[in-house]
Structure 1
């Protein structure tokens, strides 16, 4: 089994199958300023240029040793293609949605003609093709995209979305169905372009914003529809302390779930999802990888490995100012754990 390549190991680990060692990579945002400076592939240009996007993604493997390559670097690609206005950010600040096409209601919902040709989607698909060729079947290619609940909230605005969840269930369900259909189409296009796995951060699902009851009754069916419609394994990432919704996350049909360090009991989380999904995480992105020392990274990574994490990874998106040395330390901690 020690002759597994990185792609084989990652895909087996996601399925909960036996591997020689736990993979170490990031299923969430990977671009950091040090890599931008080293490659010349910097934000915001690398959000829209396929070659720069792919080069920056590949550097996380080539320079840091992470056992996978992941692009793009924000949760606004599909939202922008569907009519949201987006501020493209800066070298160390991600793009963000600034205006919403359906803030007045769902009466005029309309899927863009030829959705996959809109906005930055062609650049992302081309980057997937480049990464697939560079990875040569040996390194997993991971595509990131916003989840259907976050997309729905971007289309109408988070406040409006939350208001509809209480006062206008028809509009609420309509915009979620609309967003889910778009997510399925985009995810399958990413797979066709070369993505082995799709990572789906869906932060608006967080218990910080939506109640666990709402997740169970309203959001989970949309995530189940999404997962059932996509042809490659997917990973569901939800921000915050998701302890209360972990059993429901496990029922959504994704291959794996990604959790933050805010979930304090990793072993308990593993027990809750046993036989259903695997778990990626949960080395703290802000407090350990960004602000900590290599020694602190080693400690956090070892703790996660001892608790039984299936894929050792940052708990959330890597902050752009994170040092390369700390990402290398996470890889080294995994290596040392198996000596």
Structure 2
């Protein structure tokens, strides 16, 4: 089981190379209250201080057993940088948006990618944390950084109600808006890669079929994903909450190396749709299983994912802050048991 380093195994998994064992990772948020207590790196400080962010991310690997490190722990970094007002949250509440700049359609014209994008209060912290993590473990452990995608940013900067309404009444406004936002995503993602990230998770659930129609996705969002994948110089994963089945076929052609899927997506069906075009990551339920059930339930669900052919075993979305540590550790135990048979 030591044929490859964790970083090598992760990268080979994303390339579709046959492996000795499937990696156990999280490409979504990994901060929990137990890990905060064990490291002294608590929210909200760990969302605003690079050293604390790196310490808590490192605990996901060193203590919880994930075979990668991942930061940041919330989805408001670019949104705040581009004009949203954000409450810092608390020990078990992630930062959240309290106000947004685009109340009317004309307001979207005021949103531009600032020259100082990578020097903002929020982005600079994540960039510094990624550099710290890369210096500590980057030779052997993959460093994964999260970036909210164009649809997610549009819904934050305009509010979900406007986002949905404009998509129906003025889709050209939303498309133009997201065209600016994807440039911010690309610049930030490349900045993270330059500072030592090995992979980027683009989080964009607001582009999924639970929010907009598959036709809207293919017309308005899919071209932006292709641009992102062309211009971002590293491994790229797309995370989409909800049942993404209806858009898996085009997603597999966007250029991502992996797609992170929630438990609402059936892994075996998803594999039939995507084939060998992209790798699938997931999809043990973070809320129904990892948070609320015991280790036996985690073993059963994780084993089912492996039997269905998941390429990287992972939570189906970000961990809830009160997820028991033993349940997280059980993911590795399930993988090891499966491959020792």
Q: Same fold (TM over 0.5)?
A: yes
SS of the equivalent of 2:113 reads: coil
Comparing 6-15 with 238-247, greater Cα deviation is found at 238-247
SS of the equivalent of 1:86 reads: strand
- Which residue of structure 1 lines up, in the alignment, with residue 220 of structure 2? 218
Query: Which one of the candidate residues 192, 208, 211 is aligned to 2:210?
Result: 208
- Which residue of structure 1 lines up, in the alignment, with residue 38 of structure 2? 38
- Provide the rounded CA distance (Å) in 2 between the counterparts of 1:111 and 1:217: 23
- Which residue of structure 2 lines up, in the alignment, with residue 26 of structure 1? 26
**Deviation, structure 1 residue 169:** 2.5
Structure 2 unaligned runs (5+)? none
SS of the equivalent of 2:130 reads: helix
Contact kept? 2:237, 2:259, Cα under 8 Å: yes
- Provide the rounded CA distance (Å) in 2 between the counterparts of 1:221 and 1:311: 26
**Deviation, structure 1 residue 9:** 0.1
- Provide the rounded CA distance (Å) in 1 between the counterparts of 2:95 and 2:205: 15
- Which residue of structure 1 lines up, in the alignment, with residue 339 of structure 2? 338
1:300-338 deviations in whole A, cap 9, x for unaligned? Answer: 010000000000000111111001000011111111111
- Provide the rounded CA distance (Å) in 1 between the counterparts of 2:98 and 2:176: 22
SS of the equivalent of 2:282 reads: strand
- Which residue of structure 2 lines up, in the alignment, with residue 230 of structure 1? 232
**Deviation, structure 1 residue 2:** 4.4
- Provide the rounded CA distance (Å) in 2 between the counterparts of 1:23 and 1:205: 27
Does residue 262 of the first structure (1) align with residue 264 of the second (2)?
yes
- Provide the rounded CA distance (Å) in 2 between the counterparts of 1:125 and 1:219: 26
- Provide the rounded CA distance (Å) in 2 between the counterparts of 1:109 and 1:323: 41
**Deviation, structure 1 residue 255:** 0.5
**Deviation, structure 1 residue 108:** 2.3
Query: Which one of the candidate residues 168, 181, 184 is aligned to 1:182?
Result: 184
- Provide the rounded CA distance (Å) in 1 between the counterparts of 2:3 and 2:110: 55
Comparing 310-319 with 165-174, greater Cα deviation is found at 165-174
SS of the equivalent of 2:201 reads: strand
Does residue 88 of the first structure (1) align with residue 104 of the second (2)?
no
- Which residue of structure 2 lines up, in the alignment, with residue 139 of structure 1? 141
Number of equivalent positions: 338
- Provide the rounded CA distance (Å) in 1 between the counterparts of 2:248 and 2:112: 34
SS of the equivalent of 2:179 reads: helix
- Provide the rounded CA distance (Å) in 1 between the counterparts of 2:286 and 2:220: 29
SS of the equivalent of 1:172 reads: helix
- Which residue of structure 2 lines up, in the alignment, with residue 328 of structure 1? 329
Contact kept? 2:238, 2:259, Cα under 8 Å: yes
The 4+ residue runs of structure 1 with deviation greater than 3 A are none
SS of the equivalent of 1:31 reads: coil
CA-based RMSD of the aligned residues comes to 1.1
Does residue 276 of the first structure (1) align with residue 277 of the second (2)?
yes
SS of the equivalent of 1:59 reads: helix
- Which residue of structure 2 lines up, in the alignment, with residue 57 of structure 1? 57
- Which residue of structure 2 lines up, in the alignment, with residue 305 of structure 1? 306
**Deviation, structure 1 residue 112:** 2.1
1:198-231 deviations in whole A, cap 9, x for unaligned? Answer: 1111111121211111111211111111121100
Contact kept? 1:74, 1:145, Cα under 8 Å: no
Structure 1 unaligned runs (5+)? none
- Provide the rounded CA distance (Å) in 2 between the counterparts of 1:136 and 1:165: 41
**Deviation, structure 1 residue 232:** 0.6
Matches for 1:154-165 after TM superposition, within 5 Å? 154-165=156-167
**Deviation, structure 1 residue 171:** 1.4
- Which residue of structure 2 lines up, in the alignment, with residue 292 of structure 1? 293
TM-score, length of structure 2 as denominator length: 0.97
Query: Which one of the candidate residues 228, 243, 246 is aligned to 1:244?
Result: 246
Residues 333/100 of structure 1: CA separation in 2 closer, same or farther (3 Å cut): same
Contact kept? 2:241, 2:262, Cα under 8 Å: yes
- Provide the rounded CA distance (Å) in 1 between the counterparts of 2:25 and 2:228: 24
- Provide the rounded CA distance (Å) in 1 between the counterparts of 2:300 and 2:214: 31
